[in-house]
A and B are shown apart, each in its own frame.
Chain A
Amino acid sequence: MLNADRGKPQALRDAAVDRGSLARGGGQSRWNVPRVLSSVLVAVTFVLLSFGALVTTYEAAMAVPDWPGTYGHNMFLFPLAEWLGGPWDLFLEHGHRLLGATAGLVAIALAVSAWLWPVGPRVRWLAVAAVVLVVVQGVLGGARVLLDDTTVAKVHACTGPLFFAVTVALAVLTRRPAGVDQPSAAFSLAATLPVAAYGQLVAGAQLRHLDPATTPPVFHALVGTHILIGLVVAALAYAIAAATWRSVNRAAHRWSAAAAGLVSAQLLLGGATWVAKYGLPSAVLPDAWRLSEAIVARSGSAAVIVTAHAILGMLILAVGVVVAIAAAGRGVTAADAKPGVRRTAAGLREALV
């Protein structure tokens, strides 16, 4: 047991063990494989999802008509020169597939390591869930290509962020515990943030993968829903940041402030995305607001804005997961608990006791 754990309630100490003080590998090694693999998995998944967002932006999903192969080649044996030197669409789609396969392999390795290292049942089963999700996601990606179906594309777009959220949770939960567990009063509020952020990604997927036969009233409803959930996410992020502003739980404070910042940027990006795709919504704006120049379709800047909006949405989900876990008092590091950083009276009193 770490020194910092002394004097804490038994339940919290148990929880710390359950989370995994792992790396000690039963006290034999400080090499924490699940922690390393989970961090790698988050990084790979982030790049994977970014490629996925670009695939959607450039409508490159059908750049490769077959699956699981690529133009008749085994996916892993597709000529490198054709991939890197070929068309942009092919680069994106094939890269997305390779990254997906990589994420799958890392997820499997993580799951195996979670059963070999003493990480506790929560991490183990979460790692198994990650493997299941990445396999399902891979099959959905294949189905999206083989069926060329918008509905499958939407489901594929919704499963990706869910997998990302699980990888982030794994990365947080496998971190070395510092022995400081300060459950935040804002936990119940914080737990709603990833749920709302995920709901917003689901709503966004309906717009990103819009069925062209959608009628204007249905599109109107979809846009309204997306804006409404966006405002809910923003309100939640600001409320959580306010609630944890003076908390001794520095991780919750820091990550919720990050979430509020990201959400603010996302609101601006959301507006910019609309303008980049459709120009100003002239039907709901005064006549004087008309752009004097036509916007340029498929410009690089428009692609960056639209893709960044999708990626930032996924980052907000990830940060939301971290906020929720941090607010629950889980995964707080020693650095988070350094005294004297920003102490409240309650925090100081606790430290003095």
Chain B
Amino acid sequence: MSTSSKSSRRPCLIAAILAGLIATGCSPTPPAAFRLNMVEAISPTAEKDSIAAEQALTTEQQRQVATILAAMFGTPDEPVCLPEAGLDGSKLQLAAGPVRSDIVGRKNGLYREHCVHCHGITGDGLGPTAAFLNPYPRDYRPGVFKFKSTERADKPTHGDLVHVLHNGIAGTSMPSFALLSPTQVDALVEYVKYLSIRGETELALMRYYFELDDEDEGKLPETREFLVDEILQPIADKWASAADAVIDVPEPPADLDLAASVAKGKELFYGDRANCVKCHGVTGLGDGQANDYDDWSKNIVKIEAKLASLAGNELEPAEHRWIADFHDVLDGDALQPRTIPPRNLRKGIYRGGRRPLDLYYRIHAGINGAPMPAAAGTVSPEEIWHIVNYVRSLPYDFDGELGVDRSMAVQSNVAGALAAQETSDQ
């Protein structure tokens, strides 16, 4: 059969199959598409939190955001990479699009193969499996990452994300991708950065609507100066400068034996300065203050609070619409917020890595996006090492040590925390 006759038959074959599928009630899968950040689109803002109806982006504004994002970042199947984003287009091509491989066995569509079922096409942490997982899969769009070697507010380095992919996150559903080649892991990390930069750009665009003047008529300027220089460039710069923000870790104190270091760490743990006991509890079981949320949930919690404040009020029609929008968002664009429990330090499961260095980073910079604060301003680097040593001793701390900790907590003037915990226990 000639090639031309083959190709002339192919459309007929495809059309026949499509017709058959549609006739049997099956419709072809639509192309993958990014979703708008609807939680942000309807979120109350500090400026306008008195009138709910004015806080939601209009349909026209949502459409404009989608158009701008498509122009700047393309689609999940065909990502676009502006030079200012600082991303490697060839790596993106390897990670993006549907799963397929070439004759030498090089897989493309790596994100769709390995990540999308949990993190979702948009990287919003809303993949199909998300509701089954605790913690929820990471939403990349705010550009906030927990486990990294940089200061709290800074972006993770490329190496930090490679580290997470290689080791997975113990105690969560995030697996290790150690069996992937370094090239594949690199491509996935680049795509995660792409989704983050895209998500951060989306957030910046949405928030900019509330800074528009009346003469702007509710529309964002669609100029290169605004979209690239003012919005994209600052975001990309933060990612590019992450390597400069790596925490400088001094060597552990060499002249102190381990037992003494652990004892000092214990004092700091229960003391007012580090005050680890407040959340991790007097027992170290993570049973301290546990009613806080991470940053990804706070928007939803804020909206729920807003909703509660409107209860009983006589509402405008626009406010009714806003409430309906919120329920729509909860149905398909958000997950029910969960409080974030402080880590149980006696289990020996450290999500950001079990190396002493990893624990040093966590204590020094805190955990971005989570209530865990940075200790760097209140305790010295040497003292952080003592806390590291104490924390690492806790899984092996048996035989009634919990009781000792309890009395020590009282002695250390954290009776308030203890009393609060006892009240909550009751």
Residues on A close to B: CB < 8 A?
Answer: 59-63, 65, 71, 82, 86-90, 139-140, 142-143, 146-152, 154-155, 210-220, 223, 278-284, 287, 290-299
A218 to B174, CA, bound (A): 22
Find out whether the CB atom of A139 lies under 8 angstroms from the CB atom of B177.
Answer: no
Look across to chain A and name the residue whose beta carbon is closest to the beta carbon of B111.
Answer: A212
- Are A210 and B128 CB-contacts (below 8 A) given A143-B13, A294-B175, A297-B175? yes
Find out whether the CB atom of A89 lies under 8 angstroms from the CB atom of B21.
Answer: no
How far apart are B176's CB and chain A's nearest CB, in angstroms? 5
Find out whether the CB atom of B177 lies under 8 angstroms from the CB atom of A298.
Answer: yes
Tell me whether B348 is interfacial, beta carbon within 8 Å: yes
Which residue of A62, A87, A147, A215 is within 8 Å of B128 (Cβ)?
Answer: A215
Q: Which residues of the other chain, A, contact B13 by a CB distance below 8 angstroms?
A: 139, 142-143, 146
Find out whether the CB atom of B132 lies under 8 angstroms from the CB atom of A150.
Answer: no
Look across to chain B and name the residue whose beta carbon is closest to the beta carbon of A93.
Answer: B101
How far apart are B22's CB and chain A's nearest CB, in angstroms? 10
Q: Which of B281-337 contact A (CB under 8 A)?
A: 331-332, 335
A-B contact pairs, 21 of them (CB 8 A): A59-B99, A62-B98, A90-B105, A140-B17, A147-B18, A149-B28, A149-B29, A154-B26, A155-B21, A210-B128, A216-B128, A220-B132, A223-B132, A278-B129, A283-B134, A292-B348, A292-B349, A294-B176, A295-B175, A296-B168, A297-B179
Look across to chain B and name the residue whose beta carbon is closest to the beta carbon of A74.
Answer: B1
Q: Which residues of the other chain, A, contact B101 by a CB distance below 8 angstroms?
A: 60, 62-63, 87, 89-90
Q: Which residues of the other chain, A, contact B175 by a CB distance below 8 angstroms?
A: 279, 294-297
Look across to chain B and name the residue whose beta carbon is closest to the beta carbon of A88.
Answer: B105
- Are A62 and B172 CB-contacts (below 8 A) given A139-B17, A210-B117? no
Q: Which residues of the other chain, A, contact B100 by a CB distance below 8 angstroms?
A: 62-63, 65, 148
Find out whether the CB atom of A146 lies under 8 angstroms from the CB atom of B10.
Answer: yes
Find out whether the CB atom of B17 lies under 8 angstroms from the CB atom of A283.
Answer: no
Find out whether the CB atom of B14 lies under 8 angstroms from the CB atom of A281.
Answer: no
Look across to chain B and name the residue whose beta carbon is closest to the beta carbon of A65.
Answer: B100
Chain B 90-108 per-residue mask, 1 if CB under 8 angstroms from chain A, else 0: 0000000011110111010
- Are A151 and B133 CB-contacts (below 8 A) given A139-B13, A215-B332, A296-B179? no
Find out whether the CB atom of A216 lies under 8 angstroms from the CB atom of B130.
Answer: yes
- Are A212 and B32 CB-contacts (below 8 A) given A62-B101, A71-B103, A282-B133? yes
Find out whether the CB atom of B117 lies under 8 angstroms from the CB atom of A297.
Answer: no
Q: Which one of B119-127, B247-255, B381-389 is at the interface?
A: B119-127
Closest 10 CB pairs of A and B: A87-B105, A294-B168, A219-B128, A62-B100, A297-B175, A216-B131, A279-B173, A282-B134, A214-B128, A150-B29
A147 to B22, CA, bound (A): 14
Look across to chain B and name the residue whose beta carbon is closest to the beta carbon of A68.
Answer: B6
A155 to B28, CA, bound (A): 11
- Are A298 and B170 CB-contacts (below 8 A) given A62-B101, A216-B131? no
How far apart are B6's CB and chain A's nearest CB, in angstroms? 8
How far apart are A296's CB and chain B's nearest CB, in angstroms? 5
Which residue of B30, B103, B114, B126 is within 8 Å of A216 (Cβ)?
Answer: B126
Q: Which residues of the other chain, B, contact A282 by a CB distance below 8 angstroms?
A: 132-135, 172-173
Find out whether the CB atom of A151 lies under 8 angstroms from the CB atom of B113.
Answer: no
Which residue of B17, B33, B107, B169 is within 8 Å of A143 (Cβ)?
Answer: B17
How far apart are B124's CB and chain A's nearest CB, in angstroms? 11
Q: Which residues of the other chain, A, contact B174 by a CB distance below 8 angstroms?
A: 294
How far apart are A157's CB and chain B's nearest CB, in angstroms? 12
Tell me whether B403 is interfacial, beta carbon within 8 Å: no
A149 to B112, CA, bound (A): 14
Q: Which residues of the other chain, B, contact A291 by a CB distance below 8 angstroms?
A: 170-171
Q: Which residues of the other chain, A, contact B10 by a CB distance below 8 angstroms?
A: 146
A281 to B135, CA, bound (A): 10
How far apart are B192's CB and chain A's nearest CB, in angstroms? 15
Known: A215-B332, A278-B133. 9 other contacts (CB 8 A): A62-B101, A151-B28, A152-B17, A212-B121, A219-B128, A220-B131, A290-B171, A298-B179, A299-B179
A280 to B21, CA, bound (A): 36
Q: Which residues of the other chain, A, contact B173 by a CB distance below 8 angstroms?
A: 278-280, 282
Tell me whether B63 is interfacial, beta carbon within 8 Å: no
Find out whether the CB atom of B132 lies under 8 angstroms from the CB atom of A90.
Answer: no
Q: Which residues of the other chain, A, contact B131 by a CB distance below 8 angstroms?
A: 216-217, 219-220, 283
A89 to B99, CA, bound (A): 12
A154 to B26, CA, bound (A): 10
Find out whether the CB atom of A290 lies under 8 angstroms from the CB atom of B349.
Answer: yes
- Are A212 and B33 CB-contacts (below 8 A) given A283-B132, A292-B347? no
A220 to B98, CA, bound (A): 23
Q: Which residues of the other chain, B, contact A214 by a CB distance below 8 angstroms?
A: 128
Q: Which residues of the other chain, B, contact A142 by a CB distance below 8 angstroms?
A: 13
A65 to B102, CA, bound (A): 8
- Are A212 and B112 CB-contacts (below 8 A) given A291-B171, A297-B179? yes
Look across to chain A and name the residue whose beta carbon is closest to the beta carbon of B178.
Answer: A296
Which residue of A88, A147, A215, A297 is within 8 Å of B28 (Cβ)?
Answer: A147
Q: Which residues of the other chain, A, contact B99 by a CB distance below 8 angstroms?
A: 59, 61-62
Look across to chain B and name the residue whose beta carbon is closest to the beta carbon of A63.
Answer: B101
Look across to chain B and name the residue whose beta carbon is closest to the beta carbon of A282.
Answer: B134
A65 to B106, CA, bound (A): 13
A151 to B21, CA, bound (A): 9
How far apart are A80's CB and chain B's nearest CB, in angstroms? 15
Find out whether the CB atom of B98 lies under 8 angstroms from the CB atom of A148.
Answer: yes
How far apart are A272's CB and chain B's nearest CB, in angstroms? 15
